[in-house]
Amino acid sequence: MSGRRRSRLPLVAGLTLVALAGTLEAGIAGPAATPPSVELRRIGSFEQPVYVTQAPGESRTVYVVEQQGRVIALRDGEPMAEPFLDITERVRSGPGESGSVEAGLYSLAFDPEYASNRRFYVFYTGPDGDNFIDAYRRERGAAVRARRDSRQLVLKISHPYADTHNGGQLQFGPDGMLWISSGDGGCCGDPWDQSRSLGTLLGKLLRLDPRASRSGFRAPPENPLVGHAGPDAIYSWGLRNPWRFSFDRLTGDLLIADVGDDYDELDYLTRAAASGANFGWSMYEGFHLRDPARTGPGPLIDPIHAYGHQGSRCAITGGYVVRDPALPQLYGRYLYADYCSGRIRSLALPPLSDAGVPPAGQVADDRDEGLHLRFPTSFGEGNQGQIYVASRAGPVYRLQAGSK
């Protein structure tokens, strides 16, 4: 952890998700890309899919989250007759005041004990613009369907300033806790200074135990603000719009893809090192010093990778460290994409120090995998490490070894 970053990229104008969306179909990229060692196998088409996952112990079923407020279950490759969950009446979706299409149902996380307790959690924007984490239960028996009357509020994240930068990821970590990424509240460089403020849940990585109470949640006692001023659920801060984060299923290490204004960045560290960490926004964006007055509390974490919005790139779509043995070409590499260019890329992760942080400087081994798709909204990981990727245009794919 250097506590200081180097300016490496020229300042360029930011691009919105809507203005510069790519138009390429899934397949091989242009002549500059190397021949693909993996292929995209389509598993289905949906209405604006934004997330893909599996439930513990359910190897035959894949769940696809649709932005408008539905979750579709595929059993043995075929969609079930009814949605697993439909909460469209609770979800704000579609263009907001700024023209953004960020609002909606974002992600889904199954309880590690789902097979016995039938609990799962969803993250969405409500009609008034606030964000919600709700718990539901599946119906008893063999039915692949949620009980709509089982809704229980876990957490409400007030979002009063704009209709963008909601964050959006739910993920149970290797520690059994529920981790949540929230955006800084939207607009023009965090003018309300939410990201570094320890009095708000905006611009944060949150960690909580949603099962320890009949209502709401319990904050784990080792969270850094427990016993101090600030919400107990906060684990780290200094994030702009961390749409996707993930844990390496082999090591348990944390990777956060933070969508920027002029630069997108990837942060990589151990879970322990993330406790009380400051990821730099809005003092820094990527390696670029943006506002030296916004120092913020906590040790400053350098990203391992950043890129500016040159060409057709506009917003990083974070993925996973590949641990699928059927993808030896990608094994151990971190997979990600960009929403506007649609290109799928991977990079080799550097070794972490004894303090749990990477060495200073940007990774060198970052490569184009020769694949692209329209508007990649999210990657997904199956129970055996399978990697999926969703296109907001409709298709969802699984990555498989190339046939050539």
Residue-wise pLDDT for 28-58, tens only, equals 333 344 545 899 999 999 999 999 999 999 9
Query: What separation in angstroms does the CA of 333 have from each of 31, 232, 319, 348?
Result: 23, 34, 10, 5
Check residue 213 and give its pLDDT: 65
SS3 236: strand
Tokens of 365: 């081994």
Tell me which residue has tokens 């809704």: 151
Give whole-number Cα distances, 283 to 36, 56, 115, 145, 206, in Å.
38, 40, 44, 45, 21
SS3 261: coil
Looking at residue 329, its amino acid is Q
Predicted local confidence at residue 238, as pLDDT: 98
Q: Hey, what long-range contacts does 213-219 have (CB within 8 A, 24 or more apart)?
A: 215/152, 215/153, 216/153, 216/154, 216/155, 217/154, 217/155, 217/178
Token reading at 25: 């179909």
Report the pLDDT value the prediction gives residue 30, as an integer from 0 to 100: 36
pLDDT less than 50: residues of the chain: 1-2, 4-33, 35, 97-99
Query: What is this structure's pTM?
Result: 0.91
pLDDT at 404: 62
**Which residues have a Cβ under 8 Å from the Cβ of 63 and sit 6 or more positions away?**
52, 53, 54, 55, 71, 72, 73, 74, 84, 108
Domains of the chain: 27-401 (2.120.10.30)
